[in-house]
């Protein structure tokens, strides 16, 4: 910013302008020689202003060019690994197949939407997200509030809650299998303590509950840390002044803390939503290509379509899922912007 002089904030006197211009390049110096004279004529002032504008634009353009050059490698990566596949995907979804580029309109989409398996998968995925994401947000917030309340051994609890993030997926799957398989630890405990019959956790209506537990166990720690950081950023004087004004804890929480936490709540919700879709990885490792009904997710549908080389079904399913995600996230953005409208910076 030191290289160029910001003319808009420079002194308005012509001498200062001339002196400032002199300090730039020789070309500009020549030009500056042409406008050393003070002139009150509006036409002349207009001409001067337009020349300044041109110089400013040129400078801006050079600035933009420089940082675009720096960004180019990243841009290239984003284009090649994100936008280009997306465009190809959209293109494939309107073709007969990956090797036959005949345009078939929305046939693939109607075929996918009318597929019972797709409908089941979509329902399961949305149900899972609708239950587990709010739980992930609320429980993480509660944990953060608890740890922020001056509990002893806070750092120990924080480490314990963060540990699941470090465990590899394969190990998590193994742990869950040991616990929740038909001949697993949990059934063993129930049989020993209560004499209960074994429950096939992964192949019954309780399967989604097990997966939700896995999801929460894995993600609560990270969400909690985000909330902890946000809580620490709330100005204490606002809380104290509210206390002095007679606000109780609940009022302080909902009227003050939640306002400050709203961006974090929104961020955590988005991240949890994304994580809820990624749970397919664990489910696939636990149950294979064709799991029990309630565990059959959209990714199963698409993964199997990929295995069976049905790329048109795969791509149309992926686009439908993408559109659904955009709508959901768009709604969240809208809600956040409304909620945040009167939050002071």
User: For another protein, which is the closer residue by CB, 70 or 152?
Assistant: 70
Q: Which stretch binds another protein (CB under 8 A): 33-41, 109-117, 255-263, 337-345?
A: 109-117
- According to the binding rule CB under 8 A, does residue 307 interact with another protein? yes
- According to the binding rule CB under 8 A, does residue 15 interact with another protein? no
User: For another protein, which is the closer residue by CB, 32 or 97?
Assistant: 97
Asked if residues 89 and 319 have their Cβ atoms less than 8 Å apart, the reply is yes
- The secondary structure of residue 294, as a DSSP letter, is G
Helix axes 280-287, 298-307, angle to 10 degrees: 60
Q: How far is the CB of 93 from another protein (least distance, A)?
A: 13
Q: Write the secondary structure of 100-136 as one string of H (helix), E (strand) and C (coil).
A: CCCECCCHHHHHHHCCHHHHHHHHHHHHHHHHHHHHH
Say how many Å lie between the first and final Cα of the chain, rounded: 26
65 C-beta neighbours (distance < 10 Å), count = 9
CA proximity to 139, closest of 213, 36, 202: 213
Q: How far is the CB of 88 from another protein (least distance, A)?
A: 5
Q: How far is the CB of 91 from another protein (least distance, A)?
A: 6
User: For another protein, which is the closer residue by CB, 79 or 327?
Assistant: 79
What is the size of the binding site for another protein (CB under 8 A)?
45
| CA–CA separation, 174 and 298 (whole Å) | 23
Out of 4, 61, 64, 106, the only residue in the binding site for another protein (CB under 8 A) is 64
- According to the binding rule CB under 8 A, does residue 113 interact with another protein? no
Asked if residues 257 and 168 have their Cβ atoms less than 8 Å apart, the reply is no
User: For another protein, which is the closer residue by CB, 223 or 287?
Assistant: 287
Q: How far is the CB of 114 from another protein (least distance, A)?
A: 9
| CA–CA separation, 264 and 145 (whole Å) | 14
Binding site for another protein (CB under 8 A): 64, 75, 78-80, 83-84, 86-88, 91, 96-102, 111, 115-118, 120, 182-183, 198, 200, 203, 288-293, 296, 301, 304-305, 307-311, 313
């Amino acid at each position: 910013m030191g290289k160029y002089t910001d003319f808009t904030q420079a002194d308005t006197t012509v001498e200062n302008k001339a002196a400032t211009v002199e300090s730039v390049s020789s070309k500009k110096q020549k030009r500056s020689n042409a406008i050393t004279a003070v002139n009150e004529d509006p036409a002349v002032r207009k001409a001067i202003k337009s020349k300044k504008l041109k110089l400013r634009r040129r400078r801006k353009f050079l600035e933009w060019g420089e940082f675009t050059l720096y960004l180019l490698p990243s841009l290239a990566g984003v284009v090649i690994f994100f936008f280009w596949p997306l465009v190809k995907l959209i293109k494939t979804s309107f073709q007969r197949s990956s090797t036959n580029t005949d345009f078939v309109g929305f046939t693939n989409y109607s075929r996918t939407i009318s597929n019972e398996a797709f409908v089941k998968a979509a329902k399961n995925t949305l149900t899972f997200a609708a239950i587990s994401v709010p739980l992930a947000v609320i429980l993480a917030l509660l944990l953060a509030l608890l740890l922020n309340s001056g509990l002893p051994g806070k750092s120990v609890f924080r480490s314990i809650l963060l540990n699941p993030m470090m465990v590899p997926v394969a190990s998590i799957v193994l742990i869950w299998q040991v616990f929740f398989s038909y001949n697993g630890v949990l059934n063993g405990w129930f049989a020993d303590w209560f004499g209960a019959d074994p429950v096939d956790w992964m192949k019954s209506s309780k399967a989604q509950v097990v997966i939700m537990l896995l999801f929460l166990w894995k993600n609560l720690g990270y969400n909690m840390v985000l909330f902890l950081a946000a809580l620490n950023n709330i100005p204490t004087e606002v809380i104290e002044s509210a206390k002095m004004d007679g606000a109780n804890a609940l009022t302080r929480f909902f009227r003050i803390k939640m306002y400050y936490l709203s961006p974090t709540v929104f961020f955590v919700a988005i991240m949890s939503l994304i994580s809820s879709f990624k749970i397919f990885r664990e489910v696939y490792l636990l149950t294979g290509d064709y799991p029990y009904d309630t565990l059959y997710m959209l990714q199963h549908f698409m993964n199997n379509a990929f295995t069976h080389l049905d790329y048109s079904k795969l791509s149309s399913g992926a686009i439908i899922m993408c559109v659904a995600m955009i709508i959901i996230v768009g709604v969240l953005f809208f809600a956040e912007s409304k909620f945040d409208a009167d939050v002071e910076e």
